[in-house]
Structure 1
Amino acid sequence: MNIAIKISIAILFFGLLLITLYWFIPYNERTADSKYDMSKEEILLPKYNKNIYKEIPEVKEYIEDLNILFKSGKSILELNDNELDNYGIEAQKIVLENKEFTKDSKQGEKLLHNDMMRILPVIVSSLSKAEQEKCKSDMCYQAEKYNFVTNTTTVAIVNVDAKKVLSVKRYINMQPDISLRLKYIAQAIALHAPEVKEKLGTKPSKKDMSMANVRGNLKDSPCENAKHLCVAPTFTDHKNEKALWAIVDLTDLKLAAAKWAGLGKTTTPACISERTLQNRHIMETYCQKNTRLKKNNWDIQYRLTGSDGLEVIDASYKGKPVLKSAKIVDWHVSYQEKGAEALDTTSPTYFDGRIVEYNIGENGEYLFGYNDAMGCPMFSTSVVLPFNAPQVKELLSKDGFMLTQDYRNPKWPMACNYRYENRFEFYDDGSFRVVGVNKGRGCGENAIYRPVMRIDMDISEEENFYSYVNNSEWKAWMVEGHEKVKDNIKHAYKIVSANDETKGYYIEPNYGQHGDNSRGDNANIYLTEYKEDEGSKDLLTLGSCCNLDDDGMNRYIDKEVSTLNKNLILWYVPRIRNDAKEGSEYCWADTVVGELGNLEVKIWPCSVGPKFIPMDQ
């Protein structure tokens, strides 16, 4: 045996020994030195004067443009032509000449800082029915601007061919997706922040950073109170299982704070390659028009929305109307940590486009996180995008079919990347189920997920809603309101026609009875009267990611408004806790070494959502 063969055998032996030690030594022992200790949670407050950021080229140019703008007597900063196509350039000219669109840019004679945020081709879910007709043949665009002083987003629909603004809507205390220019500014501030460099131990680069356009906020701070616009670019340290969130205040153009957060164990930080999204096909086929599906006595239409995921509309069963609309408008994501006493709550936060929120509780604990929106690939700056076109599949139970859409971050299943599935199950007996599936991985092993489901039934124009109480009787809801869904009641609610209360649907919450390893919905349910501005078109970010007492619909609740004989909207919000403990993983994903010695992605999904069952079946 020559020396080369002996060396090869020795390398193979020691390699197998190391792999054996890694996999069979208990997890807590082998990671004692590297695993991030959550008890040492650290909040890093800025210790340098914010003026240092004014010399960053991107910030300096932005401030200079604002000064020139205000000296000219204007206060709406336009998007640069490099962010727009030719129609977008024309749409910006049209909308900036519209008095309704620009009227909140002044307070008396005082100019208020406004930025144009996005101008993009309109998609069908953003239009009223009247606008849909006008935009069938004409080129229409959606324009958005943000008022930094009043924290108001203004959205206009522009018919470029007719050179006319079709509608203007204002959303108070709601924030839009940020412009590319502001995203680059947030990245530049994070890269130049001395605190970030010190904590990372090296000068960061743009390739090390993710999620610079994701909105987030902090409770009891200007961010939670929506006074400042903030994002939180993130630097991931896979070796030590933690991530540094650099919270950037885009109102004051500075670093507001930074914090370490644990990621959870992972086998490899390597990015798993994915196939390229067929963006243009998805946009043209599923975002810019409705698609019809007829199957198993069901006749439905569906579309991908700008920010509200997959939406089913105008669904009927055996010719009878069932649904006007059903969709998952948001995923609220929060993480529980310690160290609240060190939080700087004077500024709000964004995390790679997500707005980051902090909710301070007792015993030094707090919640932080953001709201995930799911949007069309070429329209939305949401980071959770459709991976492929909607799919129609047979149910495993063989008694119906599902319409499903896979949304994911491009780098999933790496840490701080997310994957969601929007699923609608249609059964052969006329039942249907709205399902949200979380496939991990997220930014840590202590997450709380809350998908916000909006359901508009089509039983009749006048409906009534009941809950089953005392295991014996049905009680009508008289006014708008909400409650915690009761445990283990098969038909906990029903929605019926006010003209014939034998016609309607029972609502069956998920308690884990569907054979998908679900641990239940643990949901809140809300009832409101239909209003066009409350979700009939795409919604901006709805509510707080981290205030567990407010799922977002509280703003719509008016306990003086009767819900008897009304067109009603149901909001259903499950609450899920993830689990990364070996053997009990839930809402989790990881890259592991498979049976054949190759890396593979393993998923432990969590599925939630109610089932609607016809009362006459």
Structure 2
Amino acid sequence: MRKRQRRILQLILICLSLLLISFWANGRLQQRNIATAVAKGKHIYDMTALSKVELDQLDMQTAVLTDPEITALIADHDFGFLDAVALGAGEAAAWKNQGCGARNCAHIALYDYDAGGTINAILNTDNHRIIARWFDTNAFPSGSEFILPKAMEIAAADPTVRAILGDLGDPEPAMIPMSAWLMDDACREEWCVNLTYHDPAGSGKIFHIFINMEQNKVARTFFTRGRADLPVAPPPPQRYDFSDGCQEDLYGWDVCWEMTANDGVNFYDASFEGTDIFESVKVSQVEAWYPSWPGGYRDEIGSRSSVPPYGPTEFTDFGDSFEVRQLFTEFTHWPNCICCYRYEEYIRFYEDGRFQIGFVSHGPGCDDLSVYRPFYRIDLALDGRGQDDVWVWDTTQWVEATQEMELYPFVDDLSPDNEKLATFDGDTSYRWQMYRSDPLGLDEARVFLVDFKESEGDGPIPPGPGDVFMPPRQWIDGDAVSGKDPVIWWVPLLKTKKSNPTWCQPDPEPGINPCETILEARPAGELVQPTEEELAAIPTATATAVSQETATPAPTNTPRPVEGEDAEDIILNSGCGSCHQIGDLGEGHKVGPDLSNIGSIAAERIDGMSAEEYIFESITDPNAFILADCPNGPCLPNIMPRDYTNRLSSGQIDLMIEFLLEQQAESVSLPIVGDANEALPAPKTPASVKNQVAAAITSPAFQLVQILLIVMTFILTLFLILKLPDDD
């Protein structure tokens, strides 16, 4: 072989080696960045995981993956380990005969990425035997530290994420990965996880990354609003302050309670004067719904959940009743955070046999306009399990609930005694009423009546698909409920308000504007049909005030007007800016179309309709005209509030129309946030030198430069070799 040929071959080998080393180094750096991001996420999990019984997670994985029945279920499937949590005595009651008691049995969950849903197992840790197994096709579990590597790897490969955040290991996460859903995307019916980061540009906003865990891709990215910090000292960190307990024979009541991993406080084995009342009351999830996305979170409360307990479990004796209450919060810096949550769960037991189930939300959540939906499961056991009759009020009479059913609305069309539901077993009888508390009279709830079945909520309850009330809706299958073993699911709808009256918001001062909902069950005598006189006395809109013992504001059935004397205040107080960009008002890339140039195009929208008429109709009847395209996808009906005709005066509407007609900015084509084909500009705020170097090393542009340099070196060297005389 000639010397020139040998040199060319050596050059090719050297360049190939350099290319391989370059790719290997970049891959290692990328993996280190992902590992750093995973470590930061796990650190947040460590701060929120407050289980008093620590399980060997590797041992739990081994146990479930060596079980023959489980391995048969997941054969040839792509699956992932989710978590293992210890069960309390109340949660484990279904497996008491298999040796389960307080914290000696564990619930283990896997996710099936191919078929969707979770594979569940109950392990007795005393003998290391799996004693129960089931598959839940509708489960969309909360995020866990074990799915972090997969989620981070998907996010790190997305060009939009890299353009906004740079290296995923550099920015600080806002909260732990959350199970989330989008109303207009596959994330409504497939399992998606939302990663959240503080905006590196320093805007105070939160950057959201929706990851479809089944399709292995980023479904959408967007920002949510920022908010100035309040002058409030951060709460002190705490761990393990909550407590399990039992109360015996106080005001006639016996009841126990325990902290669960993901279903809040489980109240169980409640009896009054020796008669059983309920088997269990717990919260399976808190669904947070944001119209501006449109979508939300499946929050969970508990010792190993997205919103952990904070402070001790409070027991209060009021002299004629007692209450057990637990606060749950993202405690590291509430209320000076955007995407963080603060809830309270409690039950109050009275000496006359009444009990009140209550839930409080403090906000602020990820956006100003939102709806909180706690999912309560109430497992009745009136005078023991079975044979409990269930009747519902149907406009003018009580009718028996012969089949499983859904009640909606639940606070309207009530009996003369303001009741909607009656349950009884012999002489043990209870009537159910939800108190009105919303200051605008917008109280509402959905109630589901189902017959008790094993594995339908008696153990740990994973969340289901978003905005479809699963569970329990999938368990309504026509079975008999009255005279059987009924379970009541109560899902109140708590709607936040930013303008006066402020509701479900920490502004202007945390702790003074929480929203609260109460469901009361009170003893009653024999169920009798009302007389004609009683029916005639029923008001057209039934309202009841919350007892003076609570701090809930007095309600009104008349929607309060939106305050504001100029267009900007009216628009902001109406919540328009949460979904629309309107010039300098509001935010772009939300669920509603950009209205910054509506004054120029309104007259062209509908033939024969002037710009003023079109805007008026769009405000007063939002579903009249639905545009085809909105920033994040097709425009959707029933997102914009439809009560502005009751809350806005004609003068206020005229001011809004005049202001909107003045919005004639030139139409700007903006890339849709989350489109993988469009990379948004990187933040202009200078980062530290370390971050700049790290971002440069792992960026696709820098990888391209490396390849070009090697190619140029190869070409130049090859040219010089060819110019050399051939030496044999």
Same fold, TM exceeding 0.5? yes
Distance in 2 between the 1:213 and 1:392 partners? 32
Q: Structure 2 CA distance, aligned partners of 1:565 and 1:602? A: 44
Residues 128-143 of structure 1: pairs in structure 2 closer than 5 A: 128-131=93-96, 134-136=99-101, 139-143=104-108
Task: Encode CA deviations 1:223-258: one digit per residue, 9 max, x unaligned.
Answer: 2222x5433333358975632211223345443321
Task: State the partner residue of 1:231.
Answer: 194
For the 8 Å contact 2:405–2:450, the answer to whether it is kept is yes
Match of 1:492 in 2: 419
Quote the residue 1:215 is aligned against.
179
Q: Secondary structure at the match of 2:294?
A: strand
**450, 466, 469: which one aligns with 2:391:** 466
Q: 1:349-368 CA deviation, whole Å, 9 max, x = no partner?
A: xxxxxxxxxxxxxxxxx621
Q: Secondary structure at the match of 1:277?
A: coil
Q: Does 1:424 align with 2:347?
A: yes
Q: Deviation per CA, 1:187-228, whole angstroms, max 9, x where unpaired?
A: 46546644235346x7665552223421012235332222x5
2:271 to 296, 309, 316: 316
Q: Is 2:496 aligned against 1:578?
A: yes
1:609 and 2:518 matched = yes
Residue in 1 that maps onto 2:22: none
Q: Deviations over 1:555-584 (max 9, x none)?
A: 11113x122311111111111210122x41
Corresponding residue number in structure 2 for 1:198: 163
Structure 1 pair 475/236, CA: closer, same or farther in 2 (3 Å)? farther
From 268, 282, 294, the counterpart of 2:229: 268
Preserved contact between residue 393 and residue 399 of structure 2 (Cα < 8 Å):
yes
The amino acid that maps onto 2:273 is K
| CA contact 2:90–2:268 (8 Å) conserved in 1 | no
Does residue 1:149 correspond to 2:114, yes or no? Answer: yes
Do the aligned partners of residues 232 and 415 (structure 1) sit closer, same or farther apart at CA in structure 2, a change above 3 Å counting?
same
Conservation of the 8 A alpha-carbon contact between 1:511 and 1:518 = no
Work out the CA distance in 1 between the residues paired with 2:271 and 2:54: 39
For the 8 Å contact 2:315–2:324, the answer to whether it is kept is yes
| Aligned counterparts of 1:159 and 1:151: Cα–Cα separation in 2 | 26
Question: For the Cα contact (< 8 Å) 2:81–2:146, is it kept in 1?
Answer: no
Q: Secondary structure at the match of 1:56?
A: helix
- 1:439 Cα deviation from its structure 2 partner: 0.9
Cα distance in 1 for partners of 2:67, 2:493 equals 43
What corresponds to 1:481 in structure 2? 405
Structure (1/2) with the larger helix percentage = 2
Match of 2:62 among 68, 93, 116: 93
Say which SS state the counterpart of residue 501 (structure 2) adopts: coil
Matched residue of 1:211: which SS?
strand
Q: Is the 8 A contact 1:447 1:577 kept in 2?
A: yes
Q: 1:526 is matched with which residue?
A: 448
Provide the rounded CA distance (Å) in 2 between the counterparts of 1:189 and 1:389: 39
After alignment, is 183-192 or 141-150 more displaced? 183-192
Match of 2:311 in 1: 388
Which of the two has greater strand per residue? 1
Q: Distance in 1 between matches of 2:512 and 2:150?
A: 36
Q: Check the 8 A contact 1:408/1:418 in 2, yes or no.
A: yes
Measure the CA separation in 2 of the matches of 1:521 and 1:237: 39
Q: Mark the CA change 1:476 to 1:206 in structure 2 (over 3 Å): closer, same or farther.
A: farther
Q: Offset of 1:169 from its aligned partner?
A: 1.9
Deviations 1:354-412 (A, max 9, x none): xxxxxxxxxxxx62101111111xxx2x22000023111245xx642211110011232
Distance 1:58 1:105 in 2: 31
Q: List gaps (5 residues or longer) in structure 1.
A: 1-51, 62-83, 338-365, 593-600
Listed one character per residue, the Cα deviations across residues 99-131 of structure 1 (whole Å, up to 9, x for unaligned) are 11111222xxxx211122223444435424434
- Going from structure 1 to structure 2, the CA distance change for 1:536 and 1:120 (only over 3 Å counts) comes to closer
Q: 1:304 aligns with which of 249, 259, 276?
A: 259
CA distance in 1 between partners of 2:210 and 2:506 (Å): 26
Gaps of 5+ in 2: 1-25, 36-52, 527-728
Residue by residue over 1:468-500, the C-alpha shift from the partner in whole angstroms, topping out at 9 and shown as x without a partner, is 2334x21111211112114273432343335x3
Q: Distance in 2 between matches of 1:236 and 1:272?
A: 23
Q: Kindly report structure 1 stretches of 4+ aligned residues shifted beyond 6 Å.
A: 52-55, 58-61
AA aligned to 2:344 is E
2:296 to 353, 369, 378: 369
Of structures 1 and 2, the larger Rg is shown by 2
Number of matched residues?
478
User: 2:142–2:300: 8 Å Cα contact kept in structure 1?
Assistant: no
Is structure 2 residue 151 aligned with structure 1 residue 176?
Answer: no
Identity between Structure 1 and Structure 2 (%): 20
What is the aligned partner in structure 2 of residue 405 from structure 1? 326
Aligned to 1:335: 290
SS in 2 for 1:440: coil
Secondary structure of the structure 2 residue equivalent to 1:331: strand
Judging changes above 3 Å, is the alpha-carbon distance between structure 1 residues 129 and 85 closer, same or farther for their aligned structure 2 residues?
closer
Residues 547-586 of structure 1 correspond to what in structure 2 (within 5 A)? 547=468, 550=469, 552-559=471-478, 561-581=479-499, 583-586=500-503
In the alignment, what sits opposite 1:541?
A: 463
Answer whether contact 1:323 1:458 (CA < 8 A) is retained. Answer: yes
The alignment's TM-score, normalised by the length of structure 1, stands at 0.70
Query: Retained in 1: the 8 A contact 2:411–2:420?
Result: no
